[in-house]
């Protein structure tokens, strides 16, 4: 299948916490004009807040959908310590607002902002996956994502994992907080670096983000059909953004 890459964003993760772009977060369109689309054989209209058991494999629960301009991601060094001095943090912030400093990745030694850029948005579907198998499973290796627009255009998606044990401990130590229900253009969490995503033990729940980088023309169209199609261990799942 030929892929047409519409934009390539450079990845620059460093301890200076500068805004960066990851290659898998680029807008990537799928060309399937010469191929038949695979038919969905499983859950074709998942609803937020509803659990969907896949017998003997997993239980899936989509939690939240939103569009974001940027999100925080840990780096590869696994240095989850906090900046101890506010002035030192400000030296690394540059021109960014105090609200971003207060709530997110600037408080960590090894974390950066992942930016969608001026011409795109991140589609962000938070999803819990409970492992019903009798051994640990790295669901991040069993997930593939695409977003279908107008039943015709397809974009390659991506997946990230959230370690809530780490986040809850470290954000508490660093004083990260936000009022419940407050609306911002970024999520109130920090995702793991893709290289650090890990398996989920049996009967434990993994926390994931099913995402895709979409052009503004798609994001701004509030009428045309738009859906996220997820392949999870050979099971086809669909979340309809716009039906």
**Domains detected in the chain:** 3-242 (2.60.40.1240)
Q: Of 87 and 126, which is predicted with more confidence? A: 126
Among 44-48, 49-53, 83-87, 173-177, which is the least confidently predicted range?
83-87
CA 225/CA 222 separation, integer angstroms: 9
Buried b (16+ CB within 10 A) or exposed e, 161-199: bbbeeebeebbeebebeeeeeeeeebbbbbbbbeebbee
Q: Is the pTM of this model over 0.85?
A: no
Q: How confident is the model at residue 138 (pLDDT cuts 50, 70, 90)?
A: very high
Q: How confident is the model at residue 147 (pLDDT cuts 50, 70, 90)?
A: very high
pLDDT of 62 higher than 70: yes
Q: Which helix (H) or strand (E) holds 91?
A: helix 86-93
Q: Are residues 107 and 89 in contact, defined by beta-carbon separation less than 8 angstroms?
A: yes
Among 83-87, 167-171, 185-189, which is the least confidently predicted range?
83-87
Mean pLDDT of the chain: 75
pLDDT of 215 higher than 60: yes
Q: What is the mean pLDDT of residues 46-50?
A: 96
pLDDT at residue 78, rounded to an integer: 66
Q: Which helix (H) or strand (E) holds 171?
A: helix 164-174
DSSP string, 13-35: --TT---B--GGGS-EEE--TTS
pLDDT of 99 higher than 70: no
Name the most confidently modeled range: 67-71, 72-76, 187-191: 67-71
Q: What is the mean pLDDT of residues 32-57?
A: 70
pLDDT at residue 174, rounded to an integer: 54
Question: What is the 8-class DSSP label of residue 157?
Answer: E
Q: How confident is the model at residue 81 (pLDDT cuts 50, 70, 90)?
A: low
Q: What is the mean pLDDT of residues 4-25?
A: 41
Q: Which helix (H) or strand (E) holds 170?
A: helix 164-174
Tokens 């600037």, residue located: 106
Nearest in space to 65 (alpha carbons), one of 83, 44, 49: 49
pLDDT at residue 107, rounded to an integer: 57
């Amino acid at each position: 299948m030929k892929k047409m890459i519409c934009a390539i964003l450079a990845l620059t993760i460093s301890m200076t916490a500068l805004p960066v772009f990851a290659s898998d977060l680029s807008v990537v369109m799928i060309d399937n004009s010469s191929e038949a689309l695979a038919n969905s054989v499983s859950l074709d209209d998942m609803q937020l807040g509803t659990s969907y058991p896949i017998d003997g494999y997993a239980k899936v629960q989509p939690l939240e959908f939103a569009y974001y301009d940027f999100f925080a991601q840990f780096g590869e060094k696994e240095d989850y310590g906090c900046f101890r001095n506010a002035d030192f943090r400000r030296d690394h912030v540059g021109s960014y607002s105090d609200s971003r400093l207060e709530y997110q990745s600037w408080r960590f030694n090894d974390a950066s902002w992942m930016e969608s850029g001026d011409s795109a948005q991140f589609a962000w579907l938070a999803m819990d996956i409970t492992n019903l198998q009798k051994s640990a499973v790295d669901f991040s290796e069993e997930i593939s994502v695409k977003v279908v627009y107008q039943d015709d255009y397809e974009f390659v998606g991506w997946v990230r994992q959230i370690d809530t044990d780490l986040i809850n401990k470290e954000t508490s130590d660093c004083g990260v907080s936000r009022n419940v229900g407050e609306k911002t253009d970024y999520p109130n969490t920090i995702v793991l670096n893709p290289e650090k995503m890990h398996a989920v033990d049996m009967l434990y729940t993994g926390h994931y983000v099913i995402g895709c980088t979409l052009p503004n023309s798609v994001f701004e169209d509030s009428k045309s059909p738009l859906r996220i199609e997820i392949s999870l261990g050979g099971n086809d799942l669909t979340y309809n953004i716009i039906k």
